[in-house]
Structure 1
């Protein structure tokens, strides 16, 4: 299994995988256009020539990035693919100098095993006002906010 940066030829399989979980209400839906526009943010897990996992790292502010659209095909769950994708995103955030990685998730046990800690959503003003305010679940969000602290230096706030 190979974890690598996503490329255009991966978009259709990424979209199908994300949509599978979006239809269950577990992920926000993404359009093919959105995936293309943000392709440089995404990584994929490839196994035997097919995309079996995907996840994106979106920079929200100088000190915060978010893991989005983490999806692993049901046929290969439990094989460490999600863990490898998240670890790759954490490495990417640290390399970019981003000290915190956010996940809004229902999979708290999974993220806790990887070192994420539960935080109050109210401590994330850049996320709340950038994206969440436009979400249909904003008034009754049931996702849990979890943060991973990278070893990146904390940027000076201006």
Structure 2
């Protein structure tokens, strides 16, 4: 069995990340990310690598004081059911807690997955307006159909 290696994303990973995200975006399961967005947020992301191939990605984007978004989460269809997505999210949460993040949120089309990790669904108006700054560039703005979910840090 080939081990899965989790590491910080680096610039040469962008094309592989873009392909992963693009595949899900084409199926309507996540929002697309441009290469430009991926390059700009590369330091936010970790990847899962198996046999030299990127099979998963996820990002932690600090939005404001003690709040961060879990985003750009995708796992290669050939690598599903290996708990790669949950491992990525758990690692992002651990990294966020080291920074002092108290609230994690996501906007998703996969609420069951995030519920299994302790996130709960909330109305979008429960999230601070600061999170919407990037939404202005989204083709779905202002009619976002993603589901807002949060996870509060347990003290």
Is this a same-fold pair by TM over 0.5?
yes
Match in the other structure for 1:91: 94
Match in the other structure for 1:127: 131
Which stretches in structure 2 are left out of the alignment for 5+ residues?
none
Match in the other structure for 1:44: 47
How far off its partner does 1:99 sit? 0.6
Q: CA RMSD in A?
A: 1.4
> Quick one: distance in 2 between partners of 1:34 and 1:118?
26
> Quick one: distance in 1 between partners of 2:16 and 2:137?
27
How far off its partner does 1:151 sit? 4.2
Is 2:76 aligned against 1:77? no
> Quick one: distance in 2 between partners of 1:9 and 1:140?
34
Match in the other structure for 2:67: 64
Would the aligned equivalents of 2:30 and 2:109 in 1 still touch at CA under 8 Å? no
Higher mean Cα deviation, 2-11 or 133-142? 133-142
- TM-score calculated relative to the size of structure 1: 0.89
| Superposition pairs of residues 109-124 of structure 1, within 5 angstroms | 109-124=112-127
In the TM superposition, structure 1's runs of 4+ consecutive aligned residues that sit over 3 Å from their partners are none
Higher mean Cα deviation, 23-32 or 62-71? 23-32
Which stretches in structure 1 are left out of the alignment for 5+ residues?
153-158
